[in-house]
Amino acid sequence: MFRKTFFHSLIAGLLASIAGLIYNRIYLFATEVDFSRVLNTRSIIGLNMMVCLLAGILYWAMVKWLKQKGEIVFNFLLSIISFACVMIPISITLPLKIQMPELFPGLAVPMVFFPAMAWYTIKPLFILPAAIRV
């Protein structure tokens, strides 16, 4: 169970990182504002991997302790935590050297949801139908 959850987390983290990097490039070309001093490639990959791996640990614990209700509780918590984390990029004070800091939430707020979207997108790949289970 833990091994499957770990790989689920790892793949979701990679998917979220790729989506974050692509969105970062699209936003850079659309707005011509570079936020690489605040949100660079390493931080995008690191944050997405960390969030997905922490989500995997939380998922594993919920399913282990709460059995059948664990997945429902986890999905609820992941969604609530994702929405609550929107406040982080909105409330950050950027360095004075950054041009057009008012555009930063437009970059960072959608990225907050990438780990949860990746988790929910990859989840069906890790559910085996009852007929296939051995």
Question: Rounded to whole angstroms, how far apart are CA atoms 104 and 117?
Answer: 21
pLDDT score for 76 = 95
Give the CA count within 13 Å in the CB-facing half-sphere of 68. Answer: 0
Q: Quick count: other Cβ atoms within 10 Å of Cβ 2?
A: 11
pLDDT score for 67 = 86
**Quick one: which of 123, 124, 125, 113 has its CA closest to 48?**
113
pLDDT score for 118 = 96
Question: Rounded to whole angstroms, how far apart are CA atoms 55 and 115?
Answer: 9
pLDDT score for 128 = 61
Quick check: 57 and 117 in contact, CB under 8 A?
no
Indicate the average pLDDT of the chain.
91
User: How is residue 85 annotated by DSSP?
Assistant: T
pLDDT score for 129 = 58
Q: What is the residue-level pLDDT of the chain in tens, covering all 134 positions?
A: 888 999 999 999 999 999 999 999 999 999 999 898 889 999 999 999 999 999 999 999 999 999 889 999 999 999 999 999 999 999 988 888 888 889 999 999 999 999 999 999 999 888 765 445 54
Which residue stretches of 32-133 are H helix? 41-66, 70-84, 87-91, 104-112, 114-122
